[in-house]
Amino acid sequence: MKRLVFAFVIVQTALVAAQGRGGGQGRGGGQPAAAPAPPQTAQQAALVDLTGYWVSVVDEDWRFRMMTPPKGDYAQVPLNAAGRTIANQFDPELYGGAGYQTSQIIDCRAYGGAGLMHMPTRLHITWASPETLKIETDWGVQTRLIHFTPGKSYGDIELALRNGEINGGHEPASMQGYSIAMWEQPYRFNQVTFQRGAAGRGGGLGQNRAMEAQPGGSLGVVTTDLAPGWLRRNGVPYSTKTRLIEHFMTFQDPTGKDWFTDTTEVLDPEYLNTPFIISSEFQKEPDGSKWALHPCKEIK
Amino acid sequence: MRTTIIGLAACLLAQSTSAQSLINGYWNPLGNQDAYHYAAGPDPGDFSGLPITDAARKIAQQYDADEFEMPELMCRPFMATYAPRTLSTMRIWDTTDPQTQEQIKIETNMAFSAPHRTIWMPASNHPAPPATAPHTWQGYSTGKWVGNVLWVHTDHLKPGYLQRSQGLPLDDRTTMDERIFRYGDVLVDIMMISDPQYLSRPFIYSKLYAYIPQGNMDPYPCSVHNQVPAPEGYVPMRLPFYTTNYNDLFAAKGIPLEAAKGGEQTMFPEYQDYLKTLPPNPPYAQLKAEQEKQLEEQNAIARGKP
């Protein structure tokens, strides 16, 4: 019986040690300590697979997304006085006159980085390079490039923003801006602040779960250097000072279909009183057979 | 010695389940998304973007929002599929076993109409109740943690509604699956509502909340009283021929009547191409006149003089 207990303890110890090392890598499974793995690329380190064709499923904010809301309708957007002044300059005549709400003549500014993912569209997501994720849209015909920092695939994007690790300055400003990303591991157990990933050692006193590697994770993205654009098709503006924080999380619906949700926080000190926080859901498609380019309209 | 082995085994088992307080606390709904549907309630007759069946639409077109003034229905709680989608503060708390420190249940309470829900944890300890078990407003919910994400399944719900003040129904076979997680001070609840009778595909909706560091919730004592005078026994309703359930607020939004009928085809980007082909809506005065004519016909039937 003593042998049995001893074996049990050995197994338990090995399990804990394996979890600790695996957690240090941010992935399940341990690796021999004597053979450190080379730095992973972002593509290799991916916590979720976002590649493929996706379609936005619009069952929220339908009237703001599928059609152009009436001029002057900024419901739900914490727009300040300066923002309202600009939004009121929207001219329906440039977008189909009396039928502007359903003409589908859509200004390219509505497909700028802060509004793009909430617009009804299909996405084609691929790896442009091992450190760069590419998101293309068929409606509006836009391309976003999501840059990872080599050797730093994991992290907490909001923490990085607060710590000043993401500052923008990637001139010139553009419609899709400059996006920096990190794979976000689950929050760690038993920490006094939000920390991601496993600690690799226990805290003792009943708090030894900090070492555990947990399943799941998400993609965190911060976008800066945006050219002025619109949050809505009817000219609700955001400025070039805008910072965009996004988190992409995958899930399955009860029928087994794959989805991801993009939770988006728009911070604009020029036109918004408070952050504008929304989400957009996308369902995976088997192929690109429904991909149909719909260019937007450049109106100055 | 046997005790020691059992103890060691218990240690291993304890690590396979989680006791997490990640989502506990008070949460305020964020009003940047879909708020027009849930603040004052959506406009009657606007089902755009909802994957409803013809049967659901037919029932909703005969719905009269005045039913909320009926004493019998005045204090009806919001069901689990709807309460989290209102603009209402939510409190989440958990209960743990004092011996094992494992999570036994997670509970939620919403401020408005005070629906109190229990999510039994972990799901593996709580097999589904028999089909004959009672159905309730909050249903029977079980959950499990997958990393930082709380997975919840709910069934055994009473028949209710998908959208309040529109009369869109859900039947008692409705189930709901949720994925609840947080990013810093933002909580996301992805609600996936399935109903073989009234939905042609799952209705997938994400509700966003912001953390309230110093939360507080007032009681919600609901008392039945006559808010709008009505004859005794009066039951607000529409007869089956009634089809024009619109108001001036709906008309101001400019949603084409065809799109307002809803259905899953309205949820996809290609519907934007179809929208271009739809004729403009008739003037609201015309819609209102049709509505009043149908109401008059209904009243005539009610008076026994069709």
- Asked if pLDDT for residue A4 goes beyond 60, the answer is no
Residues B99-157: pLDDT tens digits? Answer: 988 899 999 999 988 999 999 999 989 988 998 999 999 999 999 999 999 999 999 99
Q: Touching check for A17 and chain B: CB below 8 Å?
A: no
Amino acid letter for position B271? Y
Look at residue A38 in the predicted model and tell me its pLDDT. Answer: 65
Which positions ≥6 away from A32 have C-beta within 8 Å?
none
> How sure is the predictor about A30, in pLDDT bands with cuts at 50, 70 and 90?
very low
Residues A7-25: pLDDT tens digits? Answer: 444 444 443 333 333 333 3
**Do B33 and A60 lie within an 8 Å CB cutoff?**
yes
Strand partners, B188: B181, B208
**Do B4 and A5 lie within an 8 Å CB cutoff?**
yes
**Do B12 and A194 lie within an 8 Å CB cutoff?**
no
Amino acid letter for position A279? S
A49: which 2 tokens? 């697979």
Q: Touching check for A263 and chain B: CB below 8 Å?
A: yes
CB of A123 within 8 A of CB of A282? yes
**Do A278 and B4 lie within an 8 Å CB cutoff?**
no
CB of B241 within 8 A of CB of B113? no
Tell me the C-alpha to C-alpha distance, in Å, between residue B63 and each of A206, A252, B35, B45, B167. Answer: 56, 34, 22, 10, 5
**Do B271 and A120 lie within an 8 Å CB cutoff?**
yes
Look at residue B62 in the predicted model and tell me its pLDDT. Answer: 84
CB of A211 within 8 A of CB of A19? yes
CB of B260 within 8 A of CB of B243? no
B105: which 2 tokens? 């249940």
In this complex, the residue of A102, A214, A253 whose CB is nearest that of residue B148 is A214
**Do A122 and B101 lie within an 8 Å CB cutoff?**
no
In this complex, the residue of B31, B175, B275 whose CB is nearest that of residue A67 is B275
- Asked if pLDDT for residue B37 goes beyond 80, the answer is no
> How sure is the predictor about B73, in pLDDT bands with cuts at 50, 70 and 90?
confident
Task: Residue window 160-219, chain A: list those with CB within 8 Å of chain B.
Answer: 186-187, 189, 194, 206, 209, 212, 214-218
CB of A231 within 8 A of CB of A205? no
Look at residue B71 in the predicted model and tell me its pLDDT. Answer: 84
